Copies of this chain bind each other. A is one copy, B any other.
Amino acid sequence: MSAYDPPLRDLEFILHDMLAVQESPIPGFADLDRDFTAAILGEAGRIARDVLAPLAATGDREGCRLENGVVRTPEGFKAAYDLIAAGGWIGLDLDPDYGGQGMPHVLNTAIGEMHAGANMALNMYWGLSHGAYNAIHAHGSDEQKRTYLPKLVAGEWSGTMNLTEPHCGTDLGLLRTRAEPRDDGSYALTGQKIFISAGEHDLSENIIHLVLARIPGGPSGVKGISLFIVPKFLVKPDGGLGERNALSCGKLEEKMGIHGNATCVMNYDGATGFLVGAAHDGLRAMFTMMNEARLSVGVQGLAQAAAAYQAAADYARERLQGRAVTGPANPDGPADPLIVHPDIRRALMDQRAFVEGGRAFILWAASLIDASARSGDADAEGLVSLLTPVIKGFLTDQGFASAVQAQQVFGGHGYTEDWPMSRFVRDARITMIYEGANGIQALDLVGRKLAQDGGRHAMAFFALVKDFIKANEADATLKAEFLDPLKAASKDLQAAATFFVETGMKNPDAALAGSTDFLHLFGHVCLGLMWARMARAALAGDEDFHRAKLATGRYYMARLLPATALHLARIRSGADPVMALPAEAF
């Protein structure tokens, strides 16, 4: 089964009816009229359905192979990659100075959901180029930009991020890869990196590795880390490919999922690298890559849930099994479709309400990134900074759980590899881990972002919720069904933040013990806000689409949003239950 049905109607509703991008003063948004976005999204959706999705099952089954240092991607991946590159999709939202199309990030994000939903392992290859592009664009020299960016944008070359080493993942202060300065200004890099997605493959002519390493004599810990460009093939002055650099893929990891993406152990044996930005300032540049990557990973988690939901809903409408408890719905058939059963619907509504709310959340955040990047809106930038760990952590935890629910609808068939459900679950699983495991996202949120700039961004978020409620509470339907539950949930979130402020000073463990609960509490409030905004937009329409939107929103408010109270109760139980056991008792 390779069917993937691009969620065009829903994307367009969110962009135009909820976010009203066409009316935004953000530079470039004026181009986003309904016809334009429909054309772009339609074409991107067609590629997702007809080109990427049909390769997902075979890519998962075949995986990648390493033979004599060369990595072969699954059958068909190269042709699809070339089509994506030739169509200009890699640079859709990138700088026209380097060959990009300069469109808003919000549009690229909508496309990203479709491409990751259709084939996550394949989509990752150019997703990583995007991250490498951003780091060089933000921190590289003019020469580095001229040398590398146009090729990355065109897809002729691809990019990677090299952070993790065998003994250090989260704790980058421990990293050991050495970068010895040479007389010509370049560096010789020596060390081993692991878990390098797209570290070696046959899709592009060259691979531009961005590598974190230590220049000898620098400070220890994270303050002594520098960022380097380390190309697979060195680039000649005329831009052509020169000699092979001293780096190689030592091994492909055997993984639970994303088999079509090559996860490499990369060995650097005195490889030539070029410093990006200032020495010992690599962490800042890395965060440029990481922040974008974290949002993309949130999109991936959501995308697996969205694709899995589609498959589950189709199956539930078609598979005949049992009879409705209220009387046969399909009296002429041997049984009723699964979808008549309340518990199957409950599972589908859980998924649908999460997926549509999460889709709105991610597109709203993408529009804030545009506001920050294109209008210099510092408030938007602060808000995105606050929301980044929520997007990454909440959308991937819930996206995985949602894909598991979708798989469950298929019964035993969902456990076989004849259907795509196992793949959605196995692929979604990595999104909770990479680019900062979700526990790190929770730590970032509670330990850093919440109090950042004196708590200004958090207060701005609360004000935004409050203002929305105030501006719309004259609508009695909206108030009773959406705004009142949102207000209660937001109150839970504020109470949790207050608890952290009050207890965290005395005992930082008390805040951190509740960090994952806080992340989920925050995520629910965000989706509650999205549902309130979508409901307002849907109340202005009268198509079946709008009625379905309202019914789904009511489900979220009635059945999912009340989780905030449980998270608050857990948070308030503080550090003691969590920290009571001595380490040796585990």
User: A residues bordering B, Cβ < 8 Å?
Assistant: 164, 167-171, 173-174, 194-195, 253-257, 313, 316-317, 320-322, 325-326, 334-335, 337, 339-349, 352, 400, 404, 407-408, 411-418, 422, 425-426, 429-430, 432-434, 437-439, 442-443, 447, 507-509, 512-513, 515-516, 544, 547-548, 551-552, 554-555, 558-559, 562-563, 565-566, 569-570, 573, 575, 577-581, 583-586
Q: B570 contacts A417, CB within 8 Å?
A: no
Q: B447 contacts A174, CB within 8 Å?
A: no
Q: A425 contacts B256, CB within 8 Å?
A: yes
A205 to chain B, nearest CB (A): 28
A191 to chain B, nearest CB (A): 16
| Chain B positions within 8 Å of A343 at CB level | 439, 442-443, 512-513, 515-516
A263's nearest neighbour on chain B, judged by CB, is B416
Q: How far is the CA of A570 from the CA of B566 in the complex (A)?
A: 12
Q: A349 contacts B577, CB within 8 Å?
A: yes
> Given that A256-B425, A408-B439, A575-B342 are contacting pairs, would A581 and B326 also be in contact in the complex, using a CB cutoff of 8 Å?
no
Q: How far is the CA of A257 from the CA of B412 in the complex (A)?
A: 12
A59 to chain B, nearest CB (A): 15
> Given that A322-B171, A426-B256, A586-B313 are contacting pairs, would A345 and B578 also be in contact in the complex, using a CB cutoff of 8 Å?
yes
| Chain B positions within 8 Å of A167 at CB level | 320
A-B contact pairs, 21 of them (CB 8 A): A167-B320, A171-B335, A254-B418, A255-B415, A255-B416, A256-B422, A256-B426, A326-B509, A342-B575, A342-B578, A343-B439, A343-B443, A344-B439, A345-B578, A347-B439, A408-B433, A411-B437, A412-B433, A414-B433, A415-B429, A548-B585
Q: How far is the CA of A335 from the CA of B176 in the complex (A)?
A: 14
A378 to chain B, nearest CB (A): 29
Q: B325 contacts A513, CB within 8 Å?
A: no
- For the complex of A and B, list the 8 residue pairs with the smallest distance between their C-beta atoms, beginning with the closest: A342-B512, A313-B586, A256-B422, A254-B417, A551-B580, A558-B573, A342-B513, A548-B585
A312's nearest neighbour on chain B, judged by CB, is B586
Q: How far is the CA of A313 from the CA of B585 in the complex (A)?
A: 10
> Given that A325-B447, A512-B342 are contacting pairs, would A411 and B433 also be in contact in the complex, using a CB cutoff of 8 Å?
yes
Q: How far is the CA of A99 from the CA of B426 in the complex (A)?
A: 44
Q: How far is the CA of A223 from the CA of B578 in the complex (A)?
A: 53
A411 to chain B, nearest CB (A): 5
Partner of A577, one of B339, B426, B442, B559: B559
Q: B341 contacts A408, CB within 8 Å?
A: no
Q: A416 contacts B580, CB within 8 Å?
A: no
> Given that A425-B429, A551-B581, A554-B577 are contacting pairs, would A509 and B342 also be in contact in the complex, using a CB cutoff of 8 Å?
yes
Give the one of A345, A430, A434, A551 with max B CB within 10 A: A345
| Chain B positions within 8 Å of A400 at CB level | 404
Partner of A515, one of B195, B342, B422: B342
> Given that A412-B164, A415-B256, A508-B325 are contacting pairs, would A337 and B575 also be in contact in the complex, using a CB cutoff of 8 Å?
no
